[in-house]
């Protein structure tokens, strides 16, 4: 799986989880939803994403097919 797909999966999961927590636990969880949305907007403008840096540091990502390419 590509790094971009991981980021989309994580962001979508964060949003759905925080919405569920806001509904069943406390409406203040909507602030977390807003934080995720603001980070998505920021990354589209600046082309920098903290989650991408975190995933790269733990070894996720690489080429699209997952195989190394020779030059």
d(CA 28, CA 19) in angstroms, rounded, equals: 10
Confidence bin at 65 (pLDDT 50/70/90): very low
Q: In the predicted model, is pLDDT for residue 62 greater than 80?
A: no
Can you count the helices (H) and strands (E) in the chain?
A: 3, 0
Q: Which tokens hold the place of 5?
A: 């797909």
pTM recorded for the entire structure: 0.79
d(CA 6, CA 8) in angstroms, rounded, equals: 5
Residues sharing a CB contact under 8 Å with residue 8, sequence separation 6 or more, in sequence order: none
Average pLDDT (42-54) is 94
Average pLDDT (14-31) is 98
C-alpha closest to that of 55 among 1, 18, 19, 12: 1
């Amino acid at each position: 799986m590509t790094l971009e797909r991981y980021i989309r999966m994580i962001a979508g999961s964060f949003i759905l989880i925080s919405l569920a927590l806001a509904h069943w636990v406390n409406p203040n969880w909507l602030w977390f939803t807003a934080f995720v949305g603001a980070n998505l907007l920021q990354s589209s403008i600046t082309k920098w994403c903290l989650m991408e840096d975190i995933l790269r540091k733990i070894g996720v990502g690489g080429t699209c097919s997952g195989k190394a390419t020779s030059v």
